């Protein structure tokens, strides 16, 4: 059986043979003020236009320069199919409550996938990137598109354990976990958004880093 952990992302767990699912909830809501609101504990982030404007910043830590990667195309066709499958799952949930279907935006998916890859490569799990210019979902959107969206929201998910090939069952498990979390569910069923980008990254072990981004340009 797989297990889920809702504690702080800095906690390190050492799974035995069975697959261990790690799901951290970090919800950040930004109000229409000039300063950023403090996040509560959910792995979702929602931002609106005109909130928390950022000034120009140096890229990467002062002692460890990091290349600014704002997008990452999907080169694995199996993972591309899983991203599509999850998009269909999201739209099926939205249809149940009479919400508009979301259009899969490949450019937004590239932004989401870049965040998934950075979480894997820099060994962290959070909406807040250690790269200053890409600090939060709004920063990452602006860095690639060069514009500020009306709405941007983000869910992140991670699973790791024994070696395996990521499959549709993994995506079903991820989707179920997200829908059973109030913060994630709110983003999946968010009114006002029209586009979705899903970025899935894995490693040789088959561990998964997944980022969902929802937007209204």
Give the pLDDT of residue 32.
Answer: 24
Give the pLDDT of residue 184.
Answer: 97
Separation of alpha carbons 75 and 39, rounded Å: 33
- The list of the chain residues with pLDDT below 70 reads 1-67
How many CA atoms are closer than 13 Å to the CA of 62, on its beta-carbon side?
A: 0
pTM of the model: 0.72
Give the pLDDT of residue 70.
Answer: 85
Give the pLDDT of residue 15.
Answer: 36
Give the pLDDT of residue 19.
Answer: 34
Give the pLDDT of residue 31.
Answer: 25
Give the pLDDT of residue 67.
Answer: 58
Judge contact between 154 and 197, C-beta under 8 A: no
Judge contact between 199 and 109, C-beta under 8 A: yes
Give the pLDDT of residue 73.
Answer: 86
């Amino acid at each position: 059986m797989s297990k889920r952990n809702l504690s702080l992302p800095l906690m390190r767990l050492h799974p035995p043979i069975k697959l261990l699912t790690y799901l951290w909830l970090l919800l950040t809501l930004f109000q229409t003020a000039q300063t950023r609101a403090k996040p509560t504990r959910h792995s979702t982030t929602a931002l609106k236009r005109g909130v928390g404007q950022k000034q120009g910043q140096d890229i990467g830590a002062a002692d460890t320069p990091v290349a600014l990667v704002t997008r990452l195309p999907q080169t694995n066709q199996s993972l591309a199919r899983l991203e599509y499958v999850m998009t269909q799952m999201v739209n099926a949930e939205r249809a149940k409550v009479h919400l508009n279907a979301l259009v899969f935006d490949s450019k937004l998916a590239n932004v989401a996938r870049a965040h998934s890859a950075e979480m894997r490569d820099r060994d962290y799990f959070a909406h807040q990137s250690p790269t200053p210019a890409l600090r939060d979902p709004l920063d990452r959107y602006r860095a690639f598109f060069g514009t500020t969206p009306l709405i941007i929201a983000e869910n992140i998910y991670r699973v790791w354990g024994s070696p395996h090939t990521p499959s549709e069952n993994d995506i079903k498990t991820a989707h179920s976990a997200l829908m059973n979390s109030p913060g994630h569910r709110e983003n999946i069923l968010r009114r006002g958004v029209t586009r979705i980008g899903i970025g899935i990254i894995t490693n040789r072990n088959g561990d998964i880093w997944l980022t969902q981004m929802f937007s209204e340009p």
